[in-house]
Amino acid sequence: MQTAKDIFNKTATGKYLAFTLLYLGWCISYIDRAAMNIALASIGKEFSLNPASMGVVLSTFFIGYAIMQLPGGWMADKFGSKKIVIGSLLLWSVFTAFTGLAWSLGALIVIRLLFGLGEGAFPCASFKGIAEYFPKSERPKMIGALLSSNYIGSAIAPLVIAPLLMYLGWRQMFFTIGIAGIVFIAVYWFLIKPAKVQEEEEQKAAGAPPISAKELLKIPLMWQLVIAWFALSLINKGLDSWMPTYLLTVRHLDLKSIGLLTPLPFVAAGLATAMGGWVMDKLFDGREKYLLVTAAALTAFFLYFMYTAETAIMVIAFQSLVYFFKSFVLAGVMAMPMKMLPGTVVGSATGMINVGGQSAGFVSPIIIGFMISAFNGSYDAVFWFLISCACLSAISSLTIKKGDKLPGNTKVAPEVC
């Protein structure tokens, strides 16, 4: 006799409801994360913070976020996605609200660290949720669609945060969005039923030993994907951090034009990410690495044209193409573990890859800042650095071999090359 949980898991309504709520969870995470960026000027004024101190407040979040990637993935594999999604949502919503109670720089730093730790478990848990509710054949396209929420959330955030900040002030703003997160938790709790990935039941029936998170470190594919995404994230984080300054100081674009034009690359990235998993599954099935190689190579190609563009408008146009193709790499490296590895370890696998991406968030802005200072404000070395990063991603992807073996002499996706 089928239980309500079984019926839920097998219906299209159930799995797409789970996807929709995970998508909304990602959007909420970006809104909560952006709240500090938008409110920082008001907070800095109240606490008399200098730019260096404000930078520490912002970077502290990423420290906690990166630290939690691997533990978050492991917990999602062990306890299931629902518990970790809800736990992560609860922690980051609570500490979002607590931000409104901050009384000093030290308090802000501690709260932001805890906020980052809380939110850090969510990405891997959401990927685990896709593995639980969708069959292996559908996971690549669903991962790409889920990751497009990054750019939707980034676009929505100012529309939500700015009015709250204007009419309520920064403290009440943080209280409000923290409470909204807790309301979302209640909705998720009542509507989403726990599930197990199909492979888990198949492994138990066949008596096959499960793969541990530790054993993922022995799989060459994982390190190739980590390097591929770390290298592309150096481009991603570097351009996100320094493009507005480059457009202002080198290309002499005014603030109004920057406000109108700079969202375009993110629109391109959102489109590419949404379709990346589908493209990999439909057009590059069995040849996944060639999608990564091609996308990384085209990223390098358009970075060069972005560097040599004669007008600021052409810079933005080529940057849009850079963001479009680098986002195929993001969708691909996250979709490949979903397609090639047992669903029982996708939380840990995606956590391992995301450590590489988040680490680039620390490294790239610092390296670029040093290069700009060392070359007296010139960005020539910066663009060649970014182009070399795209080439490194392509080379790492090219080394992926057909039929790499898992621990226990089991092949991982033998049809993949």
Query: Domain coordinates of the chain in residue numbers?
Result: 4-193, 213-411
Instruction: Give per-residue pLDDT as tens, 129-173.
Output: 888 888 877 887 888 888 888 777 777 777 788 888 888 888 998
**Average pLDDT for residues 70-90, to the nearest whole number?**
88
Instruction: Give per-residue pLDDT as tens, 265-306.
Output: 878 888 888 888 778 877 887 788 899 999 999 999 999 999
Pure H helices in 284-379: 288-308, 312-340, 346-374
Q: Which of 111, 129, 167 is nearest to 24 (CA)?
A: 129
More confident residue, 404 or 67: 67
Instruction: Give per-residue pLDDT as tens, 6-15.
Output: 445 446 677 8
More confident residue, 298 or 347: 298
The answer to whether the Cα torsion of 69, 241, 270, 386 is positive or negative is negative
Rounded Cα distance between 41 and 162, Å, is 12
DSSP category for residue 410: E
pLDDT at 416 over 60: no
What architecture is domain 4-193?
Answer: Up-down Bundle (1.20)
| Model-wide pTM > 0.85 | no
Residue 189 burial (CB count, 10 A):
13
Rounded Cα distance between 137 and 277, Å, is 11
Residue 199 pLDDT grade (very low, low, confident, very high; cuts 50, 70, 90): low
Are 125 and 76 in contact by the 8 Å Cβ rule? The answer is: yes
pLDDT at 69 over 90: no
CATH 3.90.180.10 fits 213-411, yes or no: no
